[in-house]
Amino acid sequence: MSEAPRKNRKQVVEALHEVAAEMHNRMQRGDPPRMILPVRSKTNISFDNKLGVFKYGKNKTVRDATKLGSARQLLRTLHITEFIEEMIDSEKSSTLREMYYISEGWGNGKFGSQNESNNLAEDLEIVTKCLREDFKLRPEEDGARIIGNITVEERNRRGEWMRINCRDDVGDSGYGVPYNVEEEKLKLVDEDIDFVMAIETGGMFDRLIENGFDEEARCALIHLKGQPARSTRRIIRRISDEWKKPVVVFADCDPWSFRIYASIAYGAIKTAHISEYLATKEATYLGITADDILAYDLPSDDLTKQDIGALEAELSDPRFNTGWWQEQIKLMQELGKKAEQQSLAKYGLDFVTDTYLPEKLDTIGLGY
């Protein structure tokens, strides 16, 4: 299920018109216009046995014009629809941020915030079953960077395919993953690695590169840059699918890092409608675990009020409803502590590559 289903221009426009038509039909019948959407919260995601990832459940929310806020959302949705149609016609694309600014000219259909325009674009994806790329909308967010012995072909802005080895053809900052990583833009050509390691922080990414970890452990290193962008999650998924390589996630030990892992392995709540293209169910959480804080006696910080709240929320998040995660979260609550990846430096700069990672990888059968 690697291939994302793409629609042609005509299909996209038709799907968008259906949204407008539902509103229009209802008004003709004397009913308030509306849109029906799945509830987009942790209470409405469930594990899809067939796909192996988390998808939206059956709970729907009706956005209808009986409240001012919702009516405005509907009007904005119609403006976005019109805007997308125009872009499709003129073969242009825009960033979500550009659309936010363009909405300045939409009068009462103007967005209140960038966040709102992003959410509405996602809503449209959900109801039309199209992808953002079909809408000619680009994210603002940075893609990841990759270093490791893999070779890709990327179609550059002149339309030519460029061959890039992510170890030999890149500088220290690695290969920058573009926002579109679908077949039409990016091909995975060749590899000589044993696994992929996704790393939360830039500091740790750079440490592993300086220590030559990618070559020594024969892996590709991917810097997630915090909560990973769609394209980052998508390329991890493609590497996993197409090359059948194991994926491990190396992050801080705090509730937010757990969520980063969940969005890679199980699917993010916000994008649960496309979890089957973005999530990599084979991904493993390598560390740092709550156990590690004790086992390695790592320097740690007290949990903040927000951390405690986030942990509490995770206990009832269906994605963390496994014995292992519940144990880890509860242990962390007991300790009242969190630790950063870089706290491993307590034992020297090489400790992470000489001791910690080999030991951890060994436990999941990736020893080298």
Partner 1 sequence: MNEAEEISSKQKQASIGEFFEKNKHFLGFDTQQRAIITAVKEAVDNSLDACEEARILPDIRVELRRTKSDELEMISQDNGPGIPRDSIEGVFGKFLLGSRFHAIRQTRGQQGIGITGVVMYSQLTTGSKTRVISKVKSDSSAVFVDLGIDTKKNKAIKSSEKRDIWIDERTGVEISHGLKITTVMKAKYQRGKKSVYQYLRMTSIVNPHASISLVVMDKEGEIIEEGNWVRTSNKLPRVVEEIKPHPHGIQLGTLQRMLRESTDRRMTSFLKHNFSGVSPRAAKEILGAADIEEGRTPKRIKPDEAKAMITAFQAVKLLKPPMDCLSPIEDLLIKKGLSKAIDSRFASTVTRSPTVSQGNPFQIEVGLVFGGDLSSEGPIEILRFANRVPLMYQQGGCLLTKALEAVNWKSYGLDQPGGSGIPKGPAAVLVHLASTNVQFTSEAKEAVSYNEEVFDEVRKAMLEVGRGLKNHLKKSSERKKAKEKFELVNIILPEISKKSSELLGREEPDLAPVITQIMNAVFLEEELSWNKESRLSMCSVTIHNYTARARAYTILAKWPEGEDTSMAFNPRGGRKEAKGLWAWRLDTLDPGTSTVLEFGISGLSKGDWNETDIFFRGNGEIIGATRMDEALLDEQRKAEALEAAVEEVRRSSAPSEAIKERPVTVFEPGANTDWFGMEGDGE
Per the CB < 8 A criterion, the answer to whether 230 and 253 are in contact is no
Identity of the residue, 11 or 333, whose beta carbon is nearer to partner 1 in the bound complex: 11
Report which residue type is found at 84: I
What one-character DSSP code corresponds to residue 354?
I
* Shortest Å distance, C-beta 304 to partner 1: 22
Report which residue type is found at 82: E
Identity of the residue, 124 or 260, whose beta carbon is nearer to partner 1 in the bound complex: 124
Residue ranges with strand state E in 215-344: 219-223, 247-250, 284-287, 301-302, 337-338
Per the CB < 8 A criterion, the answer to whether 196 and 250 are in contact is no
Identity of the residue, 68 or 172, whose beta carbon is nearer to partner 1 in the bound complex: 68
- What the block records as the tokens of 85 is 């149609």
If you search the block for the tokens 């509907």, which residue do you land on? 74
* Shortest Å distance, C-beta 39 to partner 1: 23
* Shortest Å distance, C-beta 108 to partner 1: 6
- Of 297, 300, 291, 303, nearest in space to 327 by CA: 291
Per the CB < 8 A criterion, the answer to whether 18 and 130 are in contact is no
If you search the block for the tokens 């259909």, which residue do you land on? 109
Identity of the residue, 49 or 68, whose beta carbon is nearer to partner 1 in the bound complex: 68
> 270: part of which helix (H) or strand (E)?
none
Query: Which residues of this chain interact with partner 1, rule CB under 8 A?
Result: 17, 20-21, 23-24, 27-28, 30-33, 65-68, 71-72, 74-75, 78-79, 81-82, 85, 107-109
Distance between CA atoms of residues 227 and 218, nearest Å: 25
Distance between CA atoms of residues 201 and 208, nearest Å: 11
Instruction: Compute how many other C-beta atoms are within 10 angstroms of the C-beta atom of residue 12.
Output: 20
- What the block records as the tokens of 289 is 């675990």
* Shortest Å distance, C-beta 87 to partner 1: 14
Identity of the residue, 68 or 334, whose beta carbon is nearer to partner 1 in the bound complex: 68
* Shortest Å distance, C-beta 70 to partner 1: 9
Identity of the residue, 71 or 335, whose beta carbon is nearer to partner 1 in the bound complex: 71
| Catalytic annotation, pick one of 56, 100, 101, 266 | 101
* Shortest Å distance, C-beta 37 to partner 1: 17
In Å, how far from its chain's centre is CA 175? 18
- What the block records as the tokens of 140 is 């603002």
Look up 175 and say whether it is catalytic. no
Catalytic residues: 101
